[in-house]
Structure 1
Amino acid sequence: MRDGRASLWLALTGALGLALCAVQATAVRAQDWSGSTEGSTTSGPTVEDYLKEAGPDAKLVNQGALKIDGRPVNCGKRPTVLNSNFDSWGGAFPGFVILNTKKIAGLSTPVKLYVYSHECGHQFEGPDETKADLFAIRRGVTRGWLDAVGMEDICTFISTLKGDGVHPPGPERCETMRKYYRELVVTESQKTTSTSAPQPQTLGPAQ
């Protein structure tokens, strides 16, 4: 996708479609960065440069200060840029996450958190879209904001999206995430059972 005001740069638009070429041939492709270094900007703009290109409507939210529907969220030490002119629901460059406040406004809370967590996932997993999807689902389960209803909300949202050279088709992404969600729920349930309070040995069944 192209950000109309930040036309020099390409972002990873994980929840949407393929990132389009920017108007200048020297534009940096976000897919080229490794994504393994905290705050790396080796193949992307700094957050300061991005804000200059995005214009006055873009707002920087420092690490630890962002809330989505009242729930605090974070992506390690990385800040978030709120940009209502961004063409996708969310995006990522090395070192910061982008959210389009207008596009996510009508989404349910689990879907908003999925979009943010997916883009955060690119910071840890690199440009692979499936890995970023699974990062988001794993974070949702472990942090307690994703249940079965929320998983279906995410599937309803993502299933309408077409695939491209970077993103698998939406229905395929839904099934991959749904399967992983079920596996995680079983694992978490087993952990809960194994860590329950120990019971004393008894002579026999209670009478």
Structure 2
Amino acid sequence: MKYPVRLLGLASAFAAFFSLLSAAQAAPASSGGFKVQRDGSLSMGGRTLRCGGARSVLDGGLPSEGAAAPGVLIINPRLLNRMPHTVRLFVFYHECGHHRVGGSELRADSWAVRRGVAEGWLDRNGLRQVCRSFGNMPATPTHPSARTRCQNLERTFNEAIAARAPAPKRKPANQIERAAGASAPALLNGPKLVGSGRNRTARN
């Protein structure tokens, strides 16, 4: 989820950002299977996750599973530890998506899905887990409804899977030309009359 900076006034937004950043920097560098490395990457479940130049920080007091703010990607290990591994990965890549595609929740969702399919950690079962993590949340001023998000996830997932499917094999052009220019088989023997076509009447 994107930190709702856009709902605040300009001065309040800067104050909220610096307050959030200070709290995140004061948080422990490791917590519940999550560890922030010196380079700002995040170790989670045997994976090392990076989001460009954004630095990962841990904040167990964050009111959501994750947030994105300028230069930082914030993860709440307390809430994410309740989630399946695929959902944890999705949250990280969703927040990273905000750094890539901006404030749109649906575009950040789609970015995360495409990365999951490309990297092999998101399958259809994992997609269902992500949708279940949304619950039945209605639309809010900052997020579309769970139904809308799940429909978008399903559409993006199908498109990503289709894009990875191998194209049907085509015959080389020279084989097609040979097949088109092949002559009809030669007639080895002429036609042979095997009957006159007239009915014969048996004599008594």
> For residue 32 of structure 2, what is the aligned residue in structure 1?
none
CA deviations on 1:25-53 (whole Å, 9 max, x unpaired) are: 82217xxxxxxxxxxxxx954xxx64434
Q: TM-score, normalised by structure 2?
A: 0.70
Q: Output aligned runs, 1:1-207, within 5 Å.
A: 12-13=2-3, 26-28=11-13, 44-45=17-18, 50-54=20-24, 56-59=26-29, 61-63=37-39, 65-189=41-165, 192-193=166-167
Q: What runs of 5+ residues in structure 2 fail to find an aligned partner?
A: 30-35, 176-204
Alpha-carbon distance, 1:184 to partner:
0.9
Q: Which moved more, 1:64-73 or 1:170-179?
A: 64-73
Larger radius of gyration: 2
Q: What code does the residue aligned with 1:163 have?
A: A
Alpha-carbon distance, 1:179 to partner:
1.3
CA RMSD of aligned residues (A): 3.4
Q: TM-score, normalised by structure 1?
A: 0.69
CA deviations on 1:98-120 (whole Å, 9 max, x unpaired) are: 00000000111111011111100
| Distance in structure 1 (CA, Å) of the matches to 2:101 and 2:148 | 20
Distance 1:58 1:93, change over 3 A: farther
Distance 1:88 1:20, change over 3 A: farther
CA deviations on 1:133-153 (whole Å, 9 max, x unpaired) are: 111111101111101110111
Distance 1:165 1:50, change over 3 A: closer
| Distance in structure 1 (CA, Å) of the matches to 2:104 and 2:49 | 22
Alpha-carbon distance, 1:65 to partner:
3.7
Distance 1:182 1:137, change over 3 A: same
Alpha-carbon distance, 1:160 to partner:
2.9
* More RCO (CA 8 Å, sep 6+): 1
Alpha-carbon distance, 1:127 to partner:
0.8
Equivalent pairs counted in the alignment come to 170
Three-state SS of the structure 2 residue aligned to 1:27 is: helix
Q: Percent identity?
A: 29
| Distance in structure 2 (CA, Å) of the matches to 1:167 and 1:145 | 25
